[in-house]
Amino acid sequence: MSWKIEAGIAALALSTAALWVSNAEPVLNEHLPERLDHFSRGDYLSFDRDFTSGGVHCDVGVQRKDICFGESPFEKALKPGADVPAKLPDMPAEFSIILNTDLKDENLETWRIGCSLVLVRSGTREIVDVMKLEAPYRKGDVSVLAYKAIGADTR
């Protein structure tokens, strides 16, 4: 009688393993998301604008986390190809802010300075891309959301 129970348990284990293998193959062979070297429109749209948090009006931030971004006097100096101003300490963005954006290249760090997100080359202060999170502004007939080293980009 015990060999029937052991055989049943072995059959169940083998069928479970076979089922896992047949379902795991598509997941294991799935294409990994592309790591970006710039900010995207999706990054921009993932932040909330014009909301109230704790009785304070916020122009931009993450409402569900009660994070309200304030302006920084250093934001005007942020340009791709330049360095983060030396007066600023290394300032990686809050973890919840990084999770709010698309996956970036492993050699880049996301920093938040005021109402701007900045991609900085790891181990340096070199700015690769800047995204101003305030409401988009118009340049001609195009809304400009982010910069790239080649100039204004309209992602």
Sequence-ordered list of residues with C-beta below 8 angstroms from that of 66, at least 6 positions apart, any chain: 53, 54
Lowest-pLDDT range of 8-17, 84-93, 96-105 = 8-17
Shared domain check, 55 and 25: no
Shared domain check, 109 and 51: yes
Please count the structural domains in the chain. 2
Shared domain check, 147 and 123: yes
- Calpha distance 120→127 (Å, rounded): 5
- Model confidence at 118, in pLDDT bands (50, 70, 90)? very high
Q: How many CB atoms lie within 10 A of CB 152?
A: 12
Shared domain check, 47 and 16: no
The larger pLDDT score, comparing residue 6 to residue 63, is at 63
Lowest-pLDDT range of 32-46, 86-100, 104-118, 129-143 = 129-143
Shared domain check, 54 and 16: no
Shared domain check, 65 and 139: yes
Q: For 51-83, write each residue's pLDDT tens digit.
A: 888 888 988 988 988 888 888 999 888 999 999
Its domain, for residue 26, covers 1-30
pTM of the model: 0.66
- Model confidence at 40, in pLDDT bands (50, 70, 90)? confident
Within-domain flag for 35: no
- Model confidence at 25, in pLDDT bands (50, 70, 90)? low
Shared domain check, 145 and 101: yes
Shared domain check, 141 and 120: yes
> Half-sphere exposure of residue 119, counting CA atoms within 13 Å on the CB side?
25
Q: What is the mean pLDDT of the chain?
A: 78
| pLDDT at residue 151, as a whole number | 42
Shared domain check, 139 and 115: yes
Task: Report residue 94 as tokens.
Answer: 């809050």
Shared domain check, 18 and 66: no
Shared domain check, 57 and 131: yes
pLDDT at 100 over 80: no
Within-domain flag for 36: no
